[in-house]
Amino acid sequence: MGKLVLHIVFNVSLISAWAQQNLVPNSSFEEYHWCPYQTGSADSFYINACKNWIMPTLGTSDYFNACSVQYDVTLQRFLFSVPENYIGNQTAHSGDAYSFLIFAQNEVGSQTYAEYIQVKLNQILQAGKFYRIHFFVNNPLPMSCSNSIGALFTPNQLNLNTDEILTLDPQFLSDPNVFFCDTNSWYEVQGIFMAQGNEEYMTIGVFEELPQLKVKDQQGNNIPEFVDAAFYIDDVTLTEIEFEAANIFTPNGDGINDGYYLNLTSIGAKKAEIYNRWGNIIIEGEDSLNWDGTFNGKDCSEGVYFIRLEFENNIVSGFIHLIR
């Protein structure tokens, strides 16, 4: 029950008011240390060329920018530019740049490969506050399209000595029912989550172990074994929702924080439930949630309880500390 479960939302405003400050620096990938290029063995087109963004693993995610003029006569195309690059031809969602990552498995599915992009946020996330993650993806490969991309938030920078898929638990995962198959359009993905506190780094990529990850070709046919799938990524934003859910609850009769109350209508939630550690529902509500720290007329014991908020197109889960 403690794991955060989130899905993308298409053209739906879950909460009417969002904070305006974007916590992601260089969110459109426009600023760079150098224009991406390649000279001999020097691979200077990796995401490290982009300001603020780095590779958190051995997977070598790329950076494409219209400033790059390196041209391959054999391929007859620009290699690391925008809209044209060695992968495909796609205008940026905004500006003149975007990032690129790929993930794959070998033919027998015994080994995976994945690329990620990582950024240090402008401020540390605060426990109990809700945040909205929002970005755009495009599939540049016409032969396959996947249904999974996620965002992981951690207190510390990831620097992992692996190039395989990270089977971690991201706070955000895209809707598995939606496949990014249209190679011409940018897909908008977004969701919300409640911070546990002290998260300062965001990593974007694939977090589902293959071959469980579904992949389809352009005709919608399942591909049981595939070579690779990929994403262009642009315009990444992270904003705090103008709503805060306290995660410390003290129903001890001192008149301070004795009741746990949420106005569900004001935040766009359809339903809320609070569970104990054994998964039993303590209280639930639809328009509002008002808990006095009791269950069946008896005081609940101190400890960790779990809250589940159900929105129109996604679910947010978190925890509450009950202290007497």
Higher pLDDT, 232 or 6: 232
Distance, CA of 199 to CA of 153 (rounded, Å): 6
**233 has pLDDT over 90:** yes
Per-residue pLDDT band at 313 (split at 50, 70, 90): low
Judge contact between 230 and 139, C-beta under 8 A: yes
CATH fold for the domain made of 37-242: Jelly Rolls (2.60.120)
Q: Among 83, 73, 70, which Cα is nearest to 42's?
A: 70
Question: Can you read off the two tokens belonging to residue 310?
Answer: 């159900």
Domain chopping of the chain, boundaries? 37-242, 246-322
Of 102-106, 231-235, 289-293, minimum mean pLDDT range: 102-106
**265 has pLDDT over 90:** no
**124 has pLDDT over 80:** yes
CATH of domain 246-322: 2.60.40
pLDDT of residue 3: 27
pLDDT of residue 147: 86
pLDDT of residue 245: 59
Q: Which long-range contacts (CB under 8 A, 24 or more apart) does 85-93 make?
A: 87/62, 87/140, 87/141, 87/230, 87/232, 88/140, 88/141, 88/183, 90/138, 90/140, 90/183, 90/232, 92/28, 92/66, 92/234, 93/28, 93/136, 93/138, 93/186, 93/234, 93/235
Backbone angles phi, psi at 151, to 5 degrees: -135, 130
Residues above pLDDT 90, as percent of the chain: 53
Instruction: Return the sign of the alpha-carbon dihedral for residues 213, 219, 224, 229.
Output: negative
pLDDT of residue 186: 97
Distance, CA of 249 to CA of 40 (rounded, Å): 61
pLDDT of residue 110: 64
Q: Tell me which DSSP letter residue 47 carries.
A: G
How confident is the prediction for the chain on average, in pLDDT? 85
pLDDT of residue 112: 84
